[in-house]
Amino acid sequence: MNIDQLEYILEIAKTRSLSAAANNLYVSVPALSQAVTHLETELEVKLFERSRAGTVPTAEGQALLQRAAVILEKIREFKEEARSFSETLSGELRLAAIPGPMSHLVKTLAGFKRDYPNVRIEVSEMSSQEIIRDLEQHKVDLGLIVLYEDLKHVRDQFEFVKVIDAKLICFLNKSHRLAHQQAVRIEDFHRYPMVLYKEDYLIWFMEQFGRLHGPANVVFTSNNVNAIIGALREEMAFSIGLDYTFRNGSVYEGLTEDMAYKEMEVPSNLPVQLGWVTHRNAAESRILKLFIDRLKLQFLNDT
């Protein structure tokens, strides 16, 4: 059953004619007849009888037509209320994200801004630690972060909602020697040069790696993606990143065809959670609630 079918049967009851109703609804008579037949089959009720007076409702059909009219009126009211939200909703939305999921955020923002043009939006890219700091100082309304060991306190202080589990992988030029291996081993971190994007979880992980296995052969760290890409293209080094970074849009998008991805045979490489974090009273903000609902859908579509 769908809204079109309810509109169809009401128009047939009004005109008492399939051809007249089809003309008013801009559909063909066979299509209209088929839609009514499917609805009658689904409901297991005959809605209309054909007589000299035209196509008229049965007794059961008349009762159901009254219900259909009420349902369509409620739908119209629902749409009008939604439209009034988009016309009147105004205010400010301050967002922050780590680099990886920024593409998901931008996609959501595009549709949100189109539907709610009076909402002023501010977006910042920063590390997970910086996002938590800005939340504490009420400079940000919502942040997309990676929740790892050093940030476990976040659950006590804020509302955290997991979106996906993520895990570190190695990425490197397809011509790199490591590209021929099934996985990158602990000794490879010592043997081969690597470059590291300057993001707090990656820095934290490599510090833990150094304590457990000895320092890796890190040539340089940088928050400049082009510098990382340049090193990979020149086969100068390999790097690491969370696996979701390479799905459906990425800071490394232009490099995808040249790259190989490898699992890491490193016991300390445990899954971490990517999710959004807000103040516990965030649900009171209608703007934020609407945006979060859309962001959920975007992640469902992209992952």
Q: How far lies 293's CA from each of 82, 98, 239, 297, in Å? A: 14, 20, 34, 7
Domains 3-87 and 168-270 fall in the same CATH topology: no
Does domain 90-158+276-297 fall under CATH 3.40.50.2300? My reply is: no
pLDDT digits (tens, 9 = 90+) for 20-44: 999 988 899 899 899 999 989 998 9
The residue extents of the domains of the chain are: 3-87, 90-158+276-297, 168-270
pLDDT at residue 227 is higher than 60: yes
Per-residue pLDDT at 284: 65
Sequence-ordered alpha helix ranges (H) in the chain: 3-15, 18-25, 29-43, 59-88, 102-115, 128-136, 154-157, 186-191, 200-213, 225-233, 286-302
In DSSP terms, which residues pair with 165 in a beta bridge?
273
pTM for the structure as a whole:
0.64
What percent of the chain is modeled with pLDDT above 70? 92
What is residue 166's DSSP assignment? E
The class (CATH top level) of 168-270 is alpha beta
Label residue 215 by pLDDT band (50, 70, 90): very high
pLDDT at residue 58 is higher than 60: yes
pLDDT at residue 102 is higher than 80: no
Q: Measured between alpha carbons, how far is 250 from 244 in angstroms, rounded to an integer?
A: 9
What percent of the chain is modeled with pLDDT above 90? 28
pLDDT digits (tens, 9 = 90+) for 180-200: 999 999 999 999 999 998 888
Average pLDDT in the chain:
86
Instruction: Please state which CATH number belongs to domain 3-87.
Output: 1.10.10.10
